[in-house]
Amino acid sequence: MSYFEEFPYINYEFPDGITRQVKNLSKKAGMIEKVKTDRANFQTHTIQDGDTVESISNYYYDTPNLHWSVMLANDMVSPYLDMPKEQRVFDEWLFQKYSTHSDSDNKTVVLSKQHTRDYIEFVGNADNNYTTIIGEVTAKPHHFIDTSKNEYTYDYVVNNSNRKDAYGRAAVMPVVSPVSIYSYEDSLNEAKRVLLVFKKAIVSDLNDELKRVLNE
C-alpha cells in the first residue's frame, strides 16, 4: 500500500531475540485526526457490489493510490472485514460460520447448505416456542425486537416467566417480533455500505502533510 511506503523504518527486537527493521506505524500526521472531526471535509459514498477501496479512490481522486485515505476516513483495519460482502461472498461466509455445531454429546454436526439456510432464516412462532430442530441442530431466532427497536434475548422472551423491572416488580412484556440470524447478519453487513470519503482538496492536503510529518 502506497500509504505505508512513506513510513520510516525502526529497529525492533522480536521475542526470538533477533532485531529486525520494521515500519514505524506509530507516526501519524496530526492533521489527519483534525480534519476527521469536521463533517464538512467529507462526502458520502454508497458501496456497490464490486467496489474496492482502490476503485473508490480512483472514482473520486482519479488514482487508486489514495485508497489509504478511504480506509483512514472510516477507521478501516481490513477492507475484507470492514466493507460489505457481495451477496455470493456473504452467503458463503454465512455457510462457513453457521454450518458447524456441537450436539448435546459435544459431537460435531455439519449442516448441509440447505439446512444451514433453513437454520439462519428460522424465526418460529409462539406455537412452537420459537424453536425447532433442523438437521439435529436446535434453531431459534437471533433475538427479538419491540416496536421501538429495543432488543431482547431469546431466553428473556421465551424462558423467563418471572421477569422483573428495576424495582423488582413483575415486568410487562411488550409485543415483540423474532429476528432471524440471517436478518441480523444482513443488517450488520448493510451498515457498512455507506462510507465517508474525504473531499478531493482535503486528500491532496493530507497527502502532503503525511509526507512532511513522516520525513521529519
Are 105 and 63 members of one domain? no
Instruction: Please tell me the total count of domains within the chain.
Output: 2
Whether residue 95 is found in the same domain as residue 184: yes
Host domain of residue 209: 2-84+192-214
Q: Are 159 and 190 in contact (CB under 8 A)?
A: no
Which pLDDT does position 16 carry in this prediction? 67
Higher pLDDT, 21 or 34: 34
Give the DSSP letter string of 179-211: E-HHHHHHHHHHTTSEEEEE-HHHHHHHHHHHH
Q: Same domain for 70 and 11?
A: yes
User: What DSSP element (H or E) covers 152?
Assistant: strand 151-152
Q: What is the mean pLDDT of the chain?
A: 85
Judged by average pLDDT, the poorest of 27-36, 51-60, 193-202, 205-214 is: 27-36
Distances (CA, A) of 164 to 58, 143, 170: 56, 19, 5
Half-sphere exposure of residue 176: CA atoms within 13 angstroms, side-chain side: 23
- Residue 92 shares a structural domain with residue 180: yes
- The predicted-structure confidence for 54-103, as pLDDT tens digits, reads as follows 999 999 999 998 888 898 889 888 888 899 999 999 999 999 999 999 98
pTM (2 d.p.): 0.75
* Spatial distance between the Cα atoms of 70 and 75, rounded to a whole number of angstroms: 9
The 10s digit of each residue's pLDDT in 31-41 is 677 788 888 99
- 51 or 214, greater pLDDT: 51
